[in-house]
Chain A
Amino acid sequence: MSGFRERDTWWAYAFLIPWIFGFIVFTAGPMVWGAVLSFTNYSVVAPSHSVGLANYRQIANDPYALLSLKNSFEMTAIYVPLEMGLALLFASMLARLTRFDGFFRTVFYLPVMTPTVAIGGMYLLMFNGPYGLVDQFLGIFHIPQPYWLTDPNWIKPGIAAMLVWQVGANTVLYLAAIKNVPQQLYESAAIDGASAWRRFKDVTLPMISPTLFFTFIILTVYGLQVFDQIYTAFYNPSNAKISSDTSLMYVIYLFQQAFEYLHMGFASAMAWLLFGIILVITGIQILVSKRFVYYEGEQTR
């Protein structure tokens, strides 16, 4: 507590100044400025004035704002369980490997290195109805081949599937968590006659629940904010022919309002509303997590 009188502590904080500087200039400053703009009709090019809460009221009355918010929620609701489920499956498989595990870890992680814009471009090729790689694979098993890019029923599942391209990042996180589960717990469970499924359900899952919970929050936030891949695939001017009411996500609409229609004030209000929504969702997730997440060292419930 008396650390501030010590020379080392001052040095530590001196080293923190660049970060604090960056935070003020690039994060806190724009956020505060965005909040101010959300109460104006700022358009960059014309003089602006205060409009009070009009932008927030307009969001409530804008059918595209509400539609895009609904789309973002629905897509995230598909994406998060899909990504977590697949990452857990791959991590469980990798954890069982005794040879070449490093190689496969790298292989699973490699797609994460793909630039997000390239993922959007690849999506158009891989999900192009019966001509795309995905449908051709489904065709082998005589599974119906959807038109992912243009059929309103399949656009959101298609986008969720595109985002899963980067499942390797979470796979590696889950793998690390699984590897950290004390071996003796599995041995005890085995001695008690627990099946593999019971060991997974009652040992692995509770022990990696903090990691699962962390990724649950991060993926939810990501799903609601994802932009690059969807914009590249559906809204890049050369692809506007396949944009649709179904692919319009909240952040895409926010971008259109800000940079295409020059409604910066309105877009700022949309951004702050999304911030508030994410804050509430995260709060609810934290509250709910108290029932399901187990942290080592804390009292058992």
Chain B
Amino acid sequence: MKGRWKAIAVLAVAAAVVAVVAGTAAGAHRGVSSKSAGGTLNIMGFGTNGDDVAKNRTAIAEKAVAPVKVNLPNGGFNEQQFLTDLASKQVPDLVYWDRSYVGTYAAKGALMPLTSCIKSQHIDLSQYRQAALGPVTYKGVVYGIPEFFDVRTIIVDTNVADQSGVTGKMLNTQNLNTLKAAALKMYKHNGGQVTRIGFDPKLPEFFPLWAKIFGVDILSKNGLVPHLNDPRAIAALTYANSLIQAQGGYNAFLAFRNTWDFFGGDNQVAKNQVGAWPMEEWYYNVLASVSPNVHVAAIPVRNHIGGIVNYSTGSAWSIPKGAANTAAACKWMKAMTATKTWVTVANIRKAKYAQNHQYWTGLFTANSKADAIINKPTSGEPKQWASILNTVEHAEKYSFAIPASPASAEFTTAWTNAVNRVLQGQQSPKQALDQAQKEAVAAIKAATK
């Protein structure tokens, strides 16, 4: 027995030695690769995926950073992979991600402040919309260069509205009683099953928009004080939830919505399965592409005093702390988001669309100067699509966003769970948002310790 244990001990030591040697070898390999990264720009999260705008912008940015070699693997931002990179101190030079990530990572010191980058590359911050800069600015320091910009307006299936006797004026979010009445006019059901949604408030995703309609931002500008249980936020959730409950209840409503062929030719507008709903502007591109003959209109979302509001989200570029090639990263961000770049690629797309007899429905970016040039209807554009483009372009000017927060993931989970508890009938809006407020306050407090 003694001999056996001795042998096992020898084998374990041998295996451990192999493991250590392998680990050291891997470390040595990392060292070499980071040294050679001087001439390479490693990017995470930006895949061109056959998209012409992404491809053409990449070509422009590659020229801007030449002769640096660009390593641009396909695929979106992967948080687990990024964390592994941070843990192994082998970070990419640039990450392309949702703006909501920036606050959390900036607060933890994982991102490079872009102050010197902006100065050295003469990046004109005034070209970016404030609602895009807010989520990438933490404690007054910019940690990301904003890129795309979502604009949320109300998409109306005018066939459904006309048939139901609903006018555009009735779909004004300022007049909540009229809106609910219009929703019920367009809503259809067969027994317990919903066969058409009149108005979909898009909960839980658009809760921040509903709160804004009722006059409150769910998070303070500095990202540190949640206002989730503000009476206006509670009223907003109460109202938006009542829209769903009045149209068959959450279970039937969502089950029906889940049947939609959202990106296909048999989409909910083509099949008249919905009257109206707030939605990001990119969906007009989908409709114009897969079912260009549908009858739709865009209506801006308005707050309780009648002002237009747009809840905006979008993507950004950031440089992780420890990045090897910050100079090239900085040049890349500038080139990718420059007015000239956007206009060039938009013109290429417009020409392509014209050739394919496809309608131009816009390209909405965080760069307001670029958007002012790009987002004009093309000549000969049908009135419907031209009008939609003008409405979205106008709504873009009245944008707000959730500010950068040191605990953005927890904050989002807190309000999403609260809204879902209300939708599923487990809590009242006040109970749910009181609980969410406590959770958000605790999370932000812990993150700023």
- For A130, A240, A262, which residue has the most chain B Cβ atoms within 10 angstroms? A262
Q: Specify which chain B residues have a CB less than 8 angstroms from the CB of A244 in the assembled complex.
A: 417, 420-421, 424, 426
B413 at the interface (CB under 8 A from A): yes
Interface size class of B (residues with CB under 8 A): 35 or more
Q: Specify which chain A residues have a CB less than 8 angstroms from the CB of B86 in the assembled complex.
A: 44-45
In the bound complex, CA of A16 to CA of B83 (Å): 33
Q: Specify which chain A residues have a CB less than 8 angstroms from the CB of B410 in the assembled complex.
A: 261
In the bound complex, CA of A17 to CA of B16 (Å): 10
Known: A45-B110, A260-B409, A262-B83. A21 touches B19 (CB 8 A): yes
Measured CB to CB, the closest approach of chain B to A62, in angstroms, equals: 10
Q: Specify which chain A residues have a CB less than 8 angstroms from the CB of B192 in the assembled complex.
A: 130
B 394-424 binary contact with A (CB < 8 Å = 1; else 0): 0000000000000101100100110011011
* B3:A150 contact, CB within 8 angstroms: no
A 221-248 binary contact with B (CB < 8 Å = 1; else 0): 0000000000000000000111111100
A147 at the interface (CB under 8 A from B): yes
Q: Specify which chain B residues have a CB less than 8 angstroms from the CB of A261 in the assembled complex.
A: 407, 409-410, 443
* A20:B424 contact, CB within 8 angstroms: no
Q: Specify which chain A residues have a CB less than 8 angstroms from the CB of B258 in the assembled complex.
A: 124, 128, 131, 149
* A245:B426 contact, CB within 8 angstroms: yes
* A243:B420 contact, CB within 8 angstroms: yes
B231 at the interface (CB under 8 A from A): no
Partner of B3, one of A4, A130, A152, A246: A4
B317 at the interface (CB under 8 A from A): no
In the bound complex, CA of A147 to CA of B256 (Å): 11
B252 at the interface (CB under 8 A from A): yes
Measured CB to CB, the closest approach of chain A to B100, in angstroms, equals: 11
Q: Specify which chain B residues have a CB less than 8 angstroms from the CB of A260 in the assembled complex.
A: 79, 409, 413
* A150:B426 contact, CB within 8 angstroms: no
Q: Specify which chain B residues have a CB less than 8 angstroms from the CB of A130 in the assembled complex.
A: 192-193, 255
B14 at the interface (CB under 8 A from A): yes
A-B Cβ contacts below 8 A, count: 115
Q: Specify which chain B residues have a CB less than 8 angstroms from the CB of A4 in the assembled complex.
A: 3-4, 6-7
B126 at the interface (CB under 8 A from A): no
B 247-268 binary contact with A (CB < 8 Å = 1; else 0): 0001110111011000000000
Q: Specify which chain A residues have a CB less than 8 angstroms from the CB of B425 in the assembled complex.
A: 152
In the bound complex, CA of A246 to CA of B426 (Å): 10
B 62-105 binary contact with A (CB < 8 Å = 1; else 0): 00000000000000000110010011000000000000000011
The DSSP consensus for interface residues of chain B is helix
Q: Specify which chain B residues have a CB less than 8 angstroms from the CB of A101 in the assembled complex.
A: none
* A1:B1 contact, CB within 8 angstroms: yes
- For A20, A44, A45, A129, which residue has the most chain B Cβ atoms within 10 angstroms? A45
A 20-49 binary contact with B (CB < 8 Å = 1; else 0): 110111000100000000000001111000
In the bound complex, CA of A242 to CA of B7 (Å): 55
In the bound complex, CA of A13 to CA of B14 (Å): 11
A187 at the interface (CB under 8 A from B): no
Q: Specify which chain B residues have a CB less than 8 angstroms from the CB of A241 in the assembled complex.
A: 203-205, 254, 420
Q: Specify which chain A residues have a CB less than 8 angstroms from the CB of B409 in the assembled complex.
A: 256, 260-261
Restricting to A260-280, which residues have a CB under 8 Å from any CB of B?
Answer: 260-262
Measured CB to CB, the closest approach of chain B to A147, in angstroms, equals: 4
In the bound complex, CA of A259 to CA of B104 (Å): 12
* B251:A150 contact, CB within 8 angstroms: yes
Q: Specify which chain A residues have a CB less than 8 angstroms from the CB of B104 in the assembled complex.
A: 262
Measured CB to CB, the closest approach of chain A to B228, in angstroms, equals: 16
A96 at the interface (CB under 8 A from B): no
B22 at the interface (CB under 8 A from A): yes
* B420:A242 contact, CB within 8 angstroms: yes
Measured CB to CB, the closest approach of chain A to B234, in angstroms, equals: 19
A151 at the interface (CB under 8 A from B): yes
- For A1, A5, A151, A260, which residue has the most chain B Cβ atoms within 10 angstroms? A260
Question: Of all chain B residues, which has the CB nearest A5?
Answer: B3
Q: Specify which chain A residues have a CB less than 8 angstroms from the CB of B256 in the assembled complex.
A: 131
A195 at the interface (CB under 8 A from B): no
A300 at the interface (CB under 8 A from B): no
* B19:A25 contact, CB within 8 angstroms: yes
* B108:A149 contact, CB within 8 angstroms: no
Q: Specify which chain A residues have a CB less than 8 angstroms from the CB of B19 in the assembled complex.
A: 21, 24-25, 29
Q: Specify which chain A residues have a CB less than 8 angstroms from the CB of B255 in the assembled complex.
A: 128-131, 147, 149-150
Q: Specify which chain A residues have a CB less than 8 angstroms from the CB of B205 in the assembled complex.
A: 240-241
A183 at the interface (CB under 8 A from B): no
Measured CB to CB, the closest approach of chain A to B223, in angstroms, equals: 16
Measured CB to CB, the closest approach of chain B to A67, in angstroms, equals: 11
In the bound complex, CA of A136 to CA of B11 (Å): 59
Partner of A151, one of B14, B105, B108, B251: B251
Question: Of all chain B residues, which has the CB nearest A14?
Answer: B11
Partner of A17, one of B18, B251, B407: B18
B373 at the interface (CB under 8 A from A): no
Q: Specify which chain A residues have a CB less than 8 angstroms from the CB of B109 in the assembled complex.
A: 45-46
16 extra A-B contacts, CB within 8 A, seeds A24-B15, A152-B424, A241-B203: A4-B7, A17-B14, A20-B15, A24-B16, A43-B108, A44-B87, A46-B108, A130-B193, A147-B251, A149-B255, A240-B204, A241-B254, A241-B420, A243-B416, A260-B79, A262-B104
A-B contact pairs, 21 of them (CB 8 A): A5-B3, A16-B11, A17-B15, A21-B18, A44-B83, A128-B258, A128-B259, A129-B252, A131-B256, A147-B251, A147-B252, A147-B255, A150-B424, A241-B205, A242-B254, A243-B420, A244-B424, A245-B417, A259-B79, A260-B413, A261-B409
Which residues of B are interface residues toward A (Cβ below 8 A)?
1, 3-4, 6-7, 11-12, 14-16, 18-19, 22-23, 79-80, 83, 86-87, 104-105, 108-110, 192-193, 203-205, 250-252, 254-256, 258-259, 407, 409-410, 413, 416-417, 420-421, 423-426, 443
